[in-house]
A and B are shown apart, each in its own frame.
Chain A
């Protein structure tokens, strides 16, 4: 009978983030192991708290299914010598499959010629109980943690020392010994509230048995409990708890039994920038900020204890004392910072290394800031900003990194830019400069806000392009999944900014050129612009496909030109409008031209109408039709309305068909002059459409990406989209 399996590894406090990750990864890992052991089941569920990682397998089969399979081996001629004895290959095959030589069969195999040796394997499935001890031991030892440790005299490594093991299959203990512990049915309750063993009778009763021992082992239930506690605190204070999903995800793993408690701090601290207060509470103490109903920050916080205490007021008082001293530090940092200036900080940044490999003339943040200013000024000019705006961009660029040298950012790196904005105000800079300093770090992540001001956006572009090009120039480009300098994220940021500002869609080229020049002045030269272009193209492809554009359409559009992302997107979107018939015609035309080029036939870019001689005047008809089409496509092309262009193309289809069909022309005429003129005609006709999208990459089936078109041709898609 199938039965539920419970496996609990009890240990000392697992770091919250590692536990969160493991709860996500663990089920798939367990399923993989069960599949390898050929044990069927009805689902795997991971549970856990800081002191335990557990898994419940529903309805795990109590034995492996019997195995009856035929394994096809070498051809008979290879497995048997002429005298009928087994060859080395034949013996090896029999041994590998655990079949006696005389039991090997000779059979015809579908899809193959001649007779083959076949081993018929009949393996009786093993009892799960016999397998589980080894399987669970191996499972525990193979769990991947970002960091593991040893303890005592043990050789075993685990995230923290292992304290107990519970392993039950249908209520029976699965015996195993690992990490110095022997499995049983004794789990443990809350460290303080229910110390001592908790007997688990079956997987079914696990969650409830622990709940009775003050352990909420289901992380979702713990999250609900934390939410409810925060709501309780909000109600009792008449305030709101500021939502913070990332913090919530962490605090649910900081205890086995969360209980909320509030605290307050001296309202005088509300004078320091709000971000400092919120970040201090969050980073150092894992407190939630609380706000008044109008959204302003209150001098209160909400936190979660990991236990029930006799008198919460004691814990509250302790926490208040801690945060008061932390906020005093914050206040001190800010008041010290306000005595300084952006110029003084910039001086410091002259000796802070941004990237050592760039060399002594380019490596510091000071160098980088000077490059950013140059690049930003060039791009701003190209974007037709007026002189005053360009000056503002330069002014902001000069101080965009200054706050990195401040105390506050030293203490809270995540406040880079935010503090710059505050200090810009303190130091008397125009508000636009403060905004640009802050926004040049945007977008700060996937889906995060893009720079609002033009100055912020321009500096954001310059900073990112400088990092990308600089790193590529000195061989620090991303490889595989490794992207230590965040270049993929940086390039996506560039594309997102350009896509969000249609007026700027042509800025990539001047941005790249200005960056190349600025780096060259600092002695950094780009050896291979192609690699950079491939890199940028691949990121844009990723953005397009994420937006739902079929991969082959994105490839077809990006194969031609990628630097103007707005235009490229319009071209990619238009691909969906090309009919199946049109695709076929195009493929045919493109193939003929490719063949001719392959044969080294030289033909012109445009035909000579004087040489049109085909019967029924099909050449002339095509020439006239295309001339008309080119005229009517002029306006939509200028407006990037490629859908209109393809509609116009659709009208050409009968004429093109007639050109090829019976009664049409033979392109590859024996007369070279006629042949070349016809090739020129086709080339002249197709070139403007090819510049929109490379049809050779499109499948003949429209719509989804499953068409026959190649997505890897020309290396466009060769850089696989990787997770950012």
Chain B
């Protein structure tokens, strides 16, 4: 199976089960979880099912294109199912079958792997899914994001695209992967890996990234603090974009070795602060919009419950809104 067919297959599989096939976010991110289609959509009472491939940048993992298993840029295929369906494991196993990984022929296991993102103020419980001893997917039940308790809970599936493709194609280096009939992964990606590893480790000017971080953080805060005419809430979507950009600036500085151990914690705290502020504003903004992804008949009661409870904080409001419609869970869309 060519790498691009793997993505097509997963897109089709999850589209058929009720997912919106989103597109990658056009900002640098370290993981698909940063995509607003995940990080923001998991918040609040509205249902949301989406699938998308995401190019991820991890500057510190750059190896100049020389390591067959590690690279500074790679692809994740991410699925978010909110609410998590009770048979989500079965759905997931069906997706492996669709890829040609039949549990009758392979040793598939769910091995504990709890997930935590200090920069996003997020955590969840779940597993890494092993296929013949190889981790092919991160499977997480999100419990909290941006410091907000999540209800309903989202099941997040993150497929390691290169790993699975290497396994299916029987190659030992990701650069030998066939992207399609004619082009290899190496032909597509190697120059990028070399140039970016060189840039990140040798050329990157820390002064510029430090300044960029401050700028992004300042803009994020400014936007969140500002009332805009005609908008129901502060401009949280651009604000969150600046949080993503700041996070990437931090990753670059970290890879460059420009951040000391103690400073590191402080920077992570600053990104988390942005993520939390965005999460809270986002929930408030969705409430102001009337939680439009809920069935029409349930929107008013959810907004009402939110407003009443939000006096003691957005977290309480988000939970109250979800609880006010939970009895009608059958009427709310879910994947499967």
A328 contacts across to B, CB distance below 8 A: 68-69
Query: Which residues of B does A touch, CB under 8 Å?
Result: 67-70, 83-86, 89, 103-112, 114, 124-125, 127, 131-134, 141, 143, 151-153, 155, 167, 172, 260-262, 322-323, 326, 329
B124 contacts across to A, CB distance below 8 A: 149
A255 to B134, alpha carbons, bound, how many Å?
16
Judge if A192 is at the interface, Cβ distance under 8 Å.
yes
A149 to B105, alpha carbons, bound, how many Å?
32
Total interface residues on A, CB under 8 Å, equals 50
B152 contacts across to A, CB distance below 8 A: 152-153
Asked whether, in the complex, the Cβ of A153 is within 8 Å of the Cβ of B110, the reply is no
B67 contacts across to A, CB distance below 8 A: 332
> Nearest chain B CB to A352's CB is how many angstroms away?
6
Bitwise interface map of A from 144 to 177 toward B, beta carbon under 8 Å scored 1, else 0: 0001111111110000110100000000000000
A155 contacts across to B, CB distance below 8 A: 323, 326
A317 to B167, alpha carbons, bound, how many Å?
10
Within 8 A of B (CB), among A291-323: 303, 305-307, 309-311, 314-315, 317-319, 321-323
Closest to B68 in A: A325
Asked whether, in the complex, the Cβ of A310 is within 8 Å of the Cβ of B89, the reply is no
Judge if A13 is at the interface, Cβ distance under 8 Å.
yes
> Nearest chain B CB to A393's CB is how many angstroms away?
29
Query: Which residues of A does B touch, CB under 8 Å?
Result: 12-13, 15-18, 50, 147-155, 160-161, 163, 180, 191-192, 254-255, 261, 285, 287, 303, 305-307, 309-311, 314-315, 317-319, 321-325, 328-329, 332, 351-353
A305 to B133, alpha carbons, bound, how many Å?
9
Asked whether, in the complex, the Cβ of B84 is within 8 Å of the Cβ of A12, the reply is no
- Of the candidates B104, B127, B132, B167, the one whose C-beta lies within 8 Å of that of A13 is B127
B69 contacts across to A, CB distance below 8 A: 325, 328-329
A307 contacts across to B, CB distance below 8 A: 103, 107-108
> Nearest chain B CB to A430's CB is how many angstroms away?
32
A150 in contact with B329 given A321-B134, A323-B133, A353-B261 (CB within 8 Å):
no
Closest to A160 in B: B125
A314 to B84, alpha carbons, bound, how many Å?
32
Asked whether, in the complex, the Cβ of A149 is within 8 Å of the Cβ of B125, the reply is yes
Asked whether, in the complex, the Cβ of A318 is within 8 Å of the Cβ of B329, the reply is no
Asked whether, in the complex, the Cβ of B105 is within 8 Å of the Cβ of A152, the reply is no
Asked whether, in the complex, the Cβ of B104 is within 8 Å of the Cβ of A318, the reply is no
Asked whether, in the complex, the Cβ of A152 is within 8 Å of the Cβ of B167, the reply is no
- Of the candidates A12, A261, A332, the one whose C-beta lies within 8 Å of that of B110 is A12
Asked whether, in the complex, the Cβ of A152 is within 8 Å of the Cβ of B133, the reply is no
A311 in contact with B127 given A12-B110, A147-B114, A322-B132 (CB within 8 Å):
no
A163 contacts across to B, CB distance below 8 A: 86
Asked whether, in the complex, the Cβ of A152 is within 8 Å of the Cβ of B106, the reply is no
- Of the candidates A17, A305, A323, A352, the one whose C-beta lies within 8 Å of that of B107 is A305
Asked whether, in the complex, the Cβ of A318 is within 8 Å of the Cβ of B86, the reply is no
> Nearest chain B CB to A310's CB is how many angstroms away?
5
> Nearest chain A CB to B157's CB is how many angstroms away?
14
Asked whether, in the complex, the Cβ of B86 is within 8 Å of the Cβ of A150, the reply is no
A306 contacts across to B, CB distance below 8 A: 107-109
Asked whether, in the complex, the Cβ of A151 is within 8 Å of the Cβ of B84, the reply is yes
- Of the candidates A147, A285, A305, A310, the one whose C-beta lies within 8 Å of that of B104 is A310
> Nearest chain A CB to B175's CB is how many angstroms away?
13
> Nearest chain B CB to A209's CB is how many angstroms away?
22
Most buried by B among A151, A303, A307, A328: A151
Most buried by B among A150, A160, A306, A310: A150
> Nearest chain A CB to B316's CB is how many angstroms away?
15
A709 to B323, alpha carbons, bound, how many Å?
61
Asked whether, in the complex, the Cβ of B153 is within 8 Å of the Cβ of A151, the reply is yes
A50 in contact with B110 given A321-B167, A321-B172, A328-B69 (CB within 8 Å):
yes
Asked whether, in the complex, the Cβ of A309 is within 8 Å of the Cβ of B83, the reply is no
Asked whether, in the complex, the Cβ of B172 is within 8 Å of the Cβ of A150, the reply is no
A287 to B260, alpha carbons, bound, how many Å?
36
A151 to B139, alpha carbons, bound, how many Å?
13
Asked whether, in the complex, the Cβ of A315 is within 8 Å of the Cβ of B134, the reply is no
- Of the candidates A154, A322, A353, the one whose C-beta lies within 8 Å of that of B134 is A322
Asked whether, in the complex, the Cβ of A311 is within 8 Å of the Cβ of B105, the reply is yes
A318 contacts across to B, CB distance below 8 A: 106-107, 131-134, 167
B131 contacts across to A, CB distance below 8 A: 318
> Nearest chain A CB to B331's CB is how many angstroms away?
12
> Nearest chain A CB to B251's CB is how many angstroms away?
18
What 9 pairs between A and B have smallest CB-CB spacing? A318-B132, A15-B112, A13-B110, A319-B133, A305-B107, A149-B125, A153-B329, A192-B103, A152-B83
Closest to A18 in B: B112
A322 contacts across to B, CB distance below 8 A: 132-134
Closest to A323 in B: B133
A315 to B167, alpha carbons, bound, how many Å?
11
- Of the candidates A147, A254, A321, A323, the one whose C-beta lies within 8 Å of that of B111 is A254
A50 to B110, alpha carbons, bound, how many Å?
9
B262 contacts across to A, CB distance below 8 A: 351, 353
Closest to B113 in A: A15
Asked whether, in the complex, the Cβ of B134 is within 8 Å of the Cβ of A152, the reply is no
B108 contacts across to A, CB distance below 8 A: 192, 306-307
A12 in contact with B89 given A149-B153, A309-B104 (CB within 8 Å):
yes
Asked whether, in the complex, the Cβ of B107 is within 8 Å of the Cβ of A315, the reply is yes
B322 contacts across to A, CB distance below 8 A: 153
B114 contacts across to A, CB distance below 8 A: 147
> Nearest chain A CB to B65's CB is how many angstroms away?
15
Asked whether, in the complex, the Cβ of A161 is within 8 Å of the Cβ of B141, the reply is yes
A261 contacts across to B, CB distance below 8 A: 107
Most buried by A among B110, B124, B134: B110
Closest to B173 in A: A325
Asked whether, in the complex, the Cβ of B84 is within 8 Å of the Cβ of A152, the reply is yes
A50 contacts across to B, CB distance below 8 A: 110
Asked whether, in the complex, the Cβ of A310 is within 8 Å of the Cβ of B105, the reply is yes
Interface pairs (29), CB distance under 8 Å: A16-B112, A50-B110, A151-B153, A152-B83, A152-B153, A152-B329, A153-B329, A160-B125, A161-B86, A254-B109, A254-B111, A255-B109, A306-B107, A310-B105, A314-B105, A314-B106, A315-B106, A315-B107, A315-B132, A319-B134, A321-B134, A322-B132, A322-B133, A323-B133, A328-B68, A328-B69, A329-B70, A332-B67, A351-B261
B85 contacts across to A, CB distance below 8 A: 152
Known: A161-B84, A318-B106, A352-B261; 19 extra A-B contacts, CB below 8 A, are: A17-B112, A50-B110, A147-B114, A151-B84, A151-B141, A152-B152, A153-B326, A155-B326, A161-B141, A180-B86, A192-B104, A303-B133, A306-B108, A307-B107, A309-B107, A311-B105, A315-B133, A317-B132, A318-B131
Most buried by A among B83, B85, B114, B133: B133
Asked whether, in the complex, the Cβ of A309 is within 8 Å of the Cβ of B105, the reply is yes
Most buried by B among A15, A153, A319, A324: A153
A287 contacts across to B, CB distance below 8 A: 133
A314 contacts across to B, CB distance below 8 A: 105-106, 132
A351 to B133, alpha carbons, bound, how many Å?
38
Asked whether, in the complex, the Cβ of B109 is within 8 Å of the Cβ of A309, the reply is no
A152 to B335, alpha carbons, bound, how many Å?
11
Closest to A255 in B: B109
> Nearest chain A CB to B145's CB is how many angstroms away?
13
Most buried by B among A306, A317, A329: A306
> Nearest chain A CB to B129's CB is how many angstroms away?
10
> Nearest chain A CB to B84's CB is how many angstroms away?
5
> Nearest chain A CB to B139's CB is how many angstroms away?
9
> Nearest chain A CB to B163's CB is how many angstroms away?
9
A328 to B85, alpha carbons, bound, how many Å?
39
B133 contacts across to A, CB distance below 8 A: 285, 287, 303, 315, 318-319, 322-323
- Of the candidates A147, A160, A319, A353, the one whose C-beta lies within 8 Å of that of B132 is A319
> Nearest chain B CB to A681's CB is how many angstroms away?
67
Asked whether, in the complex, the Cβ of A324 is within 8 Å of the Cβ of B107, the reply is no
A548 to B68, alpha carbons, bound, how many Å?
58
A311 contacts across to B, CB distance below 8 A: 105
> Nearest chain A CB to B228's CB is how many angstroms away?
34
